[in-house]
Amino acid sequence: MIVEKAERVLEEHKLCDHCLGRLFARLGKGTNEERGKAIRFVLNMERSARGLEPIAEPEECELCHNVFERIPELVEAMEEASKDIEFETFLVGSRFPEEIKEKEKAIWEEFNIDTAEPINREFNRELGKAFGRAMEKETSKNPDLVFIVEPFSGEIELQINPVYVYGRYRKLVRRIPQTPLPDFEDSVASIICRAFSKAFEGKCVFKGAGREDVDVRTLGNGRPFIVEIKSPRRRRVDLRKIAEEINASGKVEVLNLRFVSAKEAEEVLTKNHRKEYLALVLVEEGITPEEAEEVARKLEGLEIHQRTPWRVRKARADKVRVRKVHEAEARWVDEKHFELRLVTDGGLYIKELVSGDKGRTKPSVSDLLGKKAWCERLDVLNILDE
């Protein structure tokens, strides 16, 4: 049946061995070219037995126009296009003219063929194999580099896939925002991204797992972050040297840098982290050691109903969030100050937990004391993964 159907096709259409074999791609093993040669060989043996002329492979295939013969020169063009880019894995895609794809489908319908594969799929595979052999590189479903090839014009379009790096940062000084803001010379993101952009020769996008205010330090084990380096021309980069450059700033330190997948990066950024804080609380009316300890005792295990703080209402949805205080300890400092160490759910605004934010946070330290209290200084001590 295969040979019989192939004969009917070849009597109507001048096809090369690639295009003939591709009609029966889902049958047997081997390349389409090998399949086409075998089918043509058996067919011509049978035609010879019937006293008929053989159907030779045409000088030019009416369907693909001998595009597979262009693979060696396209491999050279791909090598040239990628010569200054570091990559280990790649994938090939192609753009065939619509008239070729439509003509191929018309042949399938004309001869009731349901075992074929599209021309671009075979071409991508064969071009990929040839390029992989030439460059000693591997194909991958998640490649470093994607080639989009226009087979007839020879144009090559490159898609350099991003690199993702996980790390944790410690913000050692106050008066520095996490991301760039007017009137601030530096930010955590700019200090980190300068080093990454230079090393990878790509555009760095910084994404923190949460954020702290400009006047808040982040200490301890640091805040998790992801940098996405878009269109990197370098991938074999020493992350230790990047860390050394960032840490030399004296403002920001990075820890535990490592390469991650896009999926791992998303998980880091969507995970809800508990946080440990140290707040210096000011009570103008005065505070005793006993009052400070009583506030901490009442806070521990308490659910806080917090409406979006007044100071961030333009940047955040105005709604009430319920967050929990898991641990609270107080240390009396002087007649007007005490320190409050807290472990809370992520997303609880600590300054407003202290002040009450004119009733938008309930209960608050001010409520529990019966006196107005303010957060005079705040540090993030640790970001707790568990």
Do residues 57 and 16 touch, judged by C-beta distance below 8 A? yes
Average pLDDT over residues 258-280: 95
Task: Round the average pLDDT of the chain to a whole number and report it.
Answer: 96
Do residues 365 and 330 touch, judged by C-beta distance below 8 A? no
Do residues 85 and 146 touch, judged by C-beta distance below 8 A? no
pTM score, two decimals? Answer: 0.88
Q: Is the pLDDT of residue 150 over 90?
A: yes
Average pLDDT over residues 322-341: 98
Q: Give tens-digit pLDDT for 193-244.
A: 999 999 999 999 999 999 999 999 999 999 999 999 999 999 999 999 999 9
Q: Is the pLDDT of residue 386 over 70?
A: no
Confidence of residue 370 (pLDDT cuts 50, 70, 90): very high
Q: Are residues 168 and 150 in the same domain?
A: no
The tally of domains found in the chain comes to 3
Q: Are residues 243 and 155 in the same domain?
A: no
Q: Are residues 318 and 260 in the same domain?
A: no
Mark which of 212, 236, 270 sits at the end of a domain.
270
Q: Are residues 178 and 282 in the same domain?
A: no
Q: Specify the pLDDT at position 314.
A: 79
Q: Specify the pLDDT at position 266.
A: 96
Query: Measured between alpha carbons, how far is 277 from 340 in angstroms, rounded to an integer?
Result: 8
Instruction: Read off the amino acid at residue 321.
Output: R
End-to-end, the C-alpha distance of the chain in Å comes to 64
Tokens of 161: 């896939």
Cα separations in angstroms, 234 against 163, 199, 231: 10, 7, 9
Q: Which residues form the domain of 364? A: 274-384
Mark which of 160, 182, 206 sits at the end of a domain.
160
Q: Are residues 236 and 305 in the same domain?
A: no
For residue 113, how many other CB atoms are within 10 A of its CB?
Answer: 16
Chain centre distance of CA 195: 19
Q: Give tens-digit pLDDT for 50-90.
A: 999 999 999 999 999 999 999 999 999 999 999 999 999 99
Q: Are residues 322 and 354 in the same domain?
A: yes
SS3 236: coil
From 229, 225, 233, 180, select the one nearest 204 (Cα to Cα). Answer: 229
Residue 349 marked in a binding site:
yes
Do residues 218 and 384 touch, judged by C-beta distance below 8 A? no
From 297, 309, 278, 284, select the one nearest 368 (Cα to Cα). Answer: 297
Q: Specify the pLDDT at position 135.
A: 97
Q: Are residues 13 and 34 in the same domain?
A: yes
Q: Are residues 186 and 217 in the same domain?
A: yes
Per-position b or e across 306-343, b if 16+ CB within 10 A of its CB? bbbbeeeeeeeeeeebebebbebbbeeeeeebbbbbbb
Cα separations in angstroms, 90 against 139, 147, 156: 5, 8, 14
The two beta strands, 156-160 and 145-149, are: antiparallel
Q: Are residues 50 and 124 in the same domain?
A: yes
Q: Are residues 175 and 54 in the same domain?
A: no
Average pLDDT over residues 263-291: 95
CATH code of residue 248: 3.30.70.2510
CATH code of residue 341: 3.30.70.3190
Per-position b or e across 240-254, b if 16+ CB within 10 A of its CB? eebbebbbebebbbb
Residue 166 marked in a binding site:
no
What is the set of active-site residues?
213
Q: Are residues 283 and 337 in the same domain?
A: yes
Query: Measured between alpha carbons, how far is 92 from 75 in angstroms, rounded to an integer?
Result: 11
In the numeric block, the tokens 């400092």 are attached to 333
Mark which of 160, 179, 202 sits at the end of a domain.
160
Confidence of residue 365 (pLDDT cuts 50, 70, 90): very high
Q: Are residues 196 and 298 in the same domain?
A: no
Q: Specify the pLDDT at position 317.
A: 86
